[in-house]
């Protein structure tokens, strides 16, 4: 790892990290502040729902959503936080090396006496640090929100830990998939359309598979690999899907290294 | 005219990609609609759910067992996709010149900056229109097997007009950002921020009644599919509000671009 590259990359992202973190903290605290009112309504609904057949509830993904409980409600708003995290991680992944080519600084960087592997490792570590900072803020604001607004309702602490850790796996997926896609295409002109497409695409897919109970969609979208509702209900990960998710991440990373070392970099003319 | 045609050509690929995505979404969703078309038990369950939750799931006021109700639920996804596409086109079509270092070239052409913006805005507008038409045509083809009645067709037409209105708002916003932001990178990021914030605000505003006033701040609430379905037309107040936003943004964009310092 080259500490110069690492420091430069981390600093370049500092503003973005700050904005995303503050936005996420606000989102979580604000939505969770609605919990006390919502919980009473949801308790009524649970009674209603119990009268309907299980298959029907499953079709709407309602049988594993208990909005009257702390973690049930948290897993509901976590979906929105995940959407933000996906776009942020996607941004960093898509932009990690493609930004050098777009801004015509790639040949400058690669003429430094540092191997490409080391360049990529330093950049990846800087991006990981940025994501970790965001995670820290999300964790702290989650704990703050829960202790402020739970109104004496109990919740399962190990499950909350599982939920919070799942965010890291989730981010890594979008970071590495973004990176490998940016290396597979010939040129990334602008990062945002790609990361928005990936983030919102995965989000819409998971929303549909929730409403319509489709099985096959679960395999494609990370929102289902680490479905908060599933984690809360079973107090465990859906192991095969999480393994699939991690495998995709690792393969993307390996392929990224392979591609980047061999990449043809256009020089500035 | 040359700029207009050039921009149309260079945005064609992006339009095609968005078109494919929306058609895939429609086909996937409609094929699943068959699972609960005309299921009375489901209807009973939907009736018993509290409005807050249904709103959060975008399912209020709809009889999901009919095609119209189902399309009402789909509307938020059309609106969301239209908003993202339009904001990206609007901000990108201006700021890409600086990103690709071609801005000096296009601004030394013997045309005023105002005309450059006009040509680019029109090209983006054509893209937005085409995107709505693709969505519309895709829907018509996808629902054929259900033999929908006339009421569905007019509701679909109304939804597509609302989608176009949402697109226009975000297109104007994107144009303003592209013209006003000194750094080209900022315009895209701020557009993302606005889309995310307005989407979350629209969810929050329906989750609790005393946050209802927030609906004036998010275009996703201006054209509520439930209201469209009940009233059969778009709400005049919100149409005026949308028109005002669009006019302010477009005027702002022209003013900002006319006197802006280029980022080279």
pLDDT in tens, B185-202: 888 889 989 999 999 888
Token readout for B264 is 């080279």
Nearest-CA distance B188 → chain A (Å): 6
Return the pLDDT at A88: 95
A37 in contact with B, Cβ within 8 Å: yes
Put simply, the answer to whether A84 touches B196 (Cβ < 8 Å) is yes
Put simply, the answer to whether B49 touches A38 (Cβ < 8 Å) is no
Q: What is the largest CA-CA distance in chain B?
A: 67
Looking at residues B3-14, what average pLDDT do you find?
A: 92
- The verdict on residue A207 lying in a domain is yes
By C-alpha distance, the chain A residue nearest B80 is: A200
**Mean pLDDT for chain B?**
85
Cα B184 from Cα B188, distance rounded (Å): 7
Looking at residues A229-242, what average pLDDT do you find?
A: 86
Token readout for B47 is 């009736």
Question: Which residues fall within 8 angstroms of residue B8, CB to CB, at 6 or more apart?
Answer: B123, B126, B127
Cα A171 from Cα A132, distance rounded (Å): 9
Point out the residue among B42, B57, B208 whose CB comes nearest to the CB of A56: B42
Nearest-CA distance A212 → chain B (Å): 7
Nearest-CA distance A132 → chain B (Å): 21
Cα A129 from Cα A76, distance rounded (Å): 27
By C-alpha distance, the chain A residue nearest B35 is: A212
Residue in the structure block whose two tokens are 């996703």: B220
Query: Which residues in chain B are contacts of A85 at CB distance < 8 A?
Result: none
Cα B72 from Cα B55, distance rounded (Å): 12
Return the pLDDT at B135: 94
Nearest-CA distance B48 → chain A (Å): 7
Query: Which residues in chain A are contacts of B28 at CB distance < 8 A?
Result: 208
Cα A87 from Cα B196, distance rounded (Å): 10
Put simply, the answer to whether B41 touches A53 (Cβ < 8 Å) is yes
- Best to test chain A binding among B71, B192, B198, B203 (most A CBs inside 10 Å): B192
Question: φ and ψ at A154, to 5 degrees?
Answer: -85, 155
Interface size, chain A vs chain B, as Cβ–Cβ contacts under 8 Å: 98
Q: Would you give the DSSP letter of residue A268?
A: P
Return the pLDDT at A26: 93
- The verdict on residue A11 lying in a domain is yes
Domain boundaries of chain B, sorted by first residue: 2-258
Q: What's the pLDDT band for A236 if we cut at 50, 70, 90?
A: confident
Put simply, the answer to whether B88 touches A211 (Cβ < 8 Å) is no
**Nearest by Cα to A148 from A32, A228, A13, A264:** A32
By C-alpha distance, the chain B residue nearest A66 is: B53
- Percent pLDDT > 90 in chain A is 46
**Mean pLDDT for chain A?**
85
Nearest-CA distance B32 → chain A (Å): 7
Q: Give B26-44 as a DSSP string.
A: HHHHHHHHGGGTT-HHHHH
Put simply, the answer to whether A196 touches B49 (Cβ < 8 Å) is no
Put simply, the answer to whether B49 touches A45 (Cβ < 8 Å) is yes
Looking at residues A144-170, what average pLDDT do you find?
A: 88
Return the pLDDT at B39: 64
Put simply, the answer to whether A34 touches B14 (Cβ < 8 Å) is no
Token readout for A1 is 């790892």
Nearest-CA distance B125 → chain A (Å): 18
Cα B217 from Cα B210, distance rounded (Å): 15
Q: To which H or E segment does residue B223 belong?
A: none
Put simply, the answer to whether B56 touches A59 (Cβ < 8 Å) is no
Cα A78 from Cα A71, distance rounded (Å): 10
Instruction: Please determine, for residue B139, whether its predicted confidence score (pLDDT) is greater than 80.
Output: yes
- Tens digit of each residue's pLDDT (9 = 90 or more) over A44-98: 766 666 666 555 555 555 555 667 788 888 888 898 899 999 999 999 999 999 9
- The verdict on residue A267 lying in a domain is no
Point out the residue among A44, A189, A212 whose CB comes nearest to the CB of B96: A189
Looking at residues A111-129, what average pLDDT do you find?
A: 94
Cα A181 from Cα A245, distance rounded (Å): 16
Residue A203: which domain range?
Answer: 3-262
What's the alpha-carbon Rg for chain B, to the nearest Å?
20
Return the pLDDT at A59: 53
| In contact, A237 and A162? CB cutoff 8 Å | yes
Nearest-CA distance A63 → chain B (Å): 13
Indicate yes or no: pTM above 0.90.
no
Token readout for B97 is 């010149």
**Nearest by Cα to A90 from A166, A182, A175:** A175
Nearest-CA distance B88 → chain A (Å): 7
Return the pLDDT at A11: 94
Put simply, the answer to whether A200 touches B57 (Cβ < 8 Å) is no
- Best to test chain B binding among A212, A216, A218, A268 (most B CBs inside 10 Å): A212
Return the pLDDT at A142: 93
- Best to test chain B binding among A197, A214, A268 (most B CBs inside 10 Å): A197
Compute the C-alpha angle B99/A193/B105, nearest 5°.
20
Looking at residues A202-230, what average pLDDT do you find?
A: 73
Put simply, the answer to whether B196 touches A83 (Cβ < 8 Å) is yes
- Best to test chain A binding among B21, B50, B202 (most A CBs inside 10 Å): B50
3-state helix, strand, coil in chain A (%, to 5): 80, 0, 20
ipTM of model: 0.82
Put simply, the answer to whether A191 touches B56 (Cβ < 8 Å) is no
Query: Which residues in chain A are contacts of B197 at CB distance < 8 A?
Result: 23
Looking at residues B23-34, what average pLDDT do you find?
A: 79
Looking at residues B50-66, what average pLDDT do you find?
A: 58
Instruction: Please determine, for residue B9, whether its predicted confidence score (pLDDT) is greater than 80.
Output: yes
Put simply, the answer to whether B57 touches A211 (Cβ < 8 Å) is yes
Structural domain total, chain A: 1
- The verdict on residue A72 lying in a domain is yes
Bigger pLDDT: B243 vs B49:
B243
Question: In A93-125, which positions are buried (b, 16+ CB within 10 angstroms) versus exposed (e)?
Answer: bbbbbbbbbbeeebeebeeeebebeebbbbbbb
Point out the residue among A52, A192, A201 whose CB comes nearest to the CB of B192: A192
Query: Which residues in chain B are contacts of A216 at CB distance < 8 A?
Result: none
| In contact, A229 and A61? CB cutoff 8 Å | yes
* Ranges A203-207, A215-219, A252-256, A263-267, most confident: A252-256
Q: What's the pLDDT band for B15 if we cut at 50, 70, 90?
A: very high
Bigger pLDDT: A187 vs A174:
A174
Three-state secondary-structure class, residue A153: coil
Q: Give A212-265 as a DSSP string.
A: H--SGGGGT-HHHHT-HHHHHHHTS--HHHHHHHHHHHHHHHHHHHHHHHHPPP
């Amino acid at each position: 790892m080259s500490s110069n590259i690492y420091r430069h990359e981390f600093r370049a992202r500092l503003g973005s990290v700050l904005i995303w973190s503050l936005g996420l903290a606000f989102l979580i605290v604000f939505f969770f502040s609605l919990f006390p009112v919502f919980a009473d309504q949801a308790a009524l609904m649970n009674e209603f729902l119990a009268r309907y057949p299980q298959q029907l509830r499953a079709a709407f993904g309602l049988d594993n959503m208990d909005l009257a409980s702390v973690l049930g409600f948290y897993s509901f708003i976590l979906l929105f936080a995940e959407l933000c995290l996906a776009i942020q991680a996607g941004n960093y992944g898509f932009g990690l090396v493609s930004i050098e080519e777009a801004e015509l600084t790639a040949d400058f960087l690669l003429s430094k006496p540092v191997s490409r592997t080391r360049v990529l490792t330093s950049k990846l570590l800087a991006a990981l640090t940025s994501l970790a900072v965001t995670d820290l803020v999300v964790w702290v604001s989650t704990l703050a929100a829960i202790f402020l607004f739970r109104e004496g309702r109990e919740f399962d602490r190990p499950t909350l830990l599982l939920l919070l850790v799942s965010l890291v796996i989730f981010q890594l997926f979008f970071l590495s998939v973004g990176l490998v896609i940016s290396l597979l295409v010939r040129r990334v002109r602008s990062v945002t359309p790609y990361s928005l497409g990936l983030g919102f695409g995965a989000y819409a897919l998971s929303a549909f598979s929730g409403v319509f109970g489709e099985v096959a969609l679960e395999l494609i979208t990370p929102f289902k690999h680490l479905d908060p509702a599933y984690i809360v209900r079973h107090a465990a990960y859906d192991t095969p899907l999480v393994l699939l998710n991690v495998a995709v991440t690792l393969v993307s990373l390996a392929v990224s290294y392979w591609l980047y070392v061999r990449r043809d970099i256009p020089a500035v003319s | 005219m040359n700029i207009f045609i050039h921009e149309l050509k260079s945005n064609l690929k992006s339009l095609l990609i968005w078109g494919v995505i929306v058609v895939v979404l429609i086909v996937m969703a409609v094929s699943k609609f068959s699972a609960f078309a005309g299921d009375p038990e489901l209807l009973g369950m939907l009736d018993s759910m509290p409005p807050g939750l249904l709103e959060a799931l975008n399912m209020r006021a709809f009889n999901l067992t009919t095609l119209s109700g189902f399309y009402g639920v789909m509307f938020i996804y059309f609106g969301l996709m239209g908003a993202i596409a339009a904001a990206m086109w609007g901000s990108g079509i201006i700021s890409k010149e600086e990103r690709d270092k071609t801005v000096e070239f296009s601004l030394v052409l013997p045309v005023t900056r105002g005309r450059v913006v006009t040509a680019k805005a029109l090209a983006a507008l054509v893209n937005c229109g085409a995107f709505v038409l693709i969505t519309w045509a895709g829907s018509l083809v996808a629902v054929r097997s259900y033999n929908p009645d006339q009421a569905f067709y007019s509701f679909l037409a109304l939804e597509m007009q609302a989608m176009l209105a949402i697109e226009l708002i975000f297109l104007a916003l994107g144009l303003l950002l592209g013209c006003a932001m000194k750094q080209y990178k900022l315009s895209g990021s701020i557009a993302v921020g606005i889309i995310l914030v307005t989407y979350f605000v629209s969810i929050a505003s329906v989750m609790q009644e005393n946050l209802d006033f927030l609906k004036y701040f998010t275009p996703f609430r201006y054209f509520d599919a439930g209201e469209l379905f009940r009233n059969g037309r778009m709400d005049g107040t919100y149409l005026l509000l949308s028109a005002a936003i669009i006019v302010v943004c477009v005027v702002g964009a022209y003013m900002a671009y006319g006197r802006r310092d280029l980022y080279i």
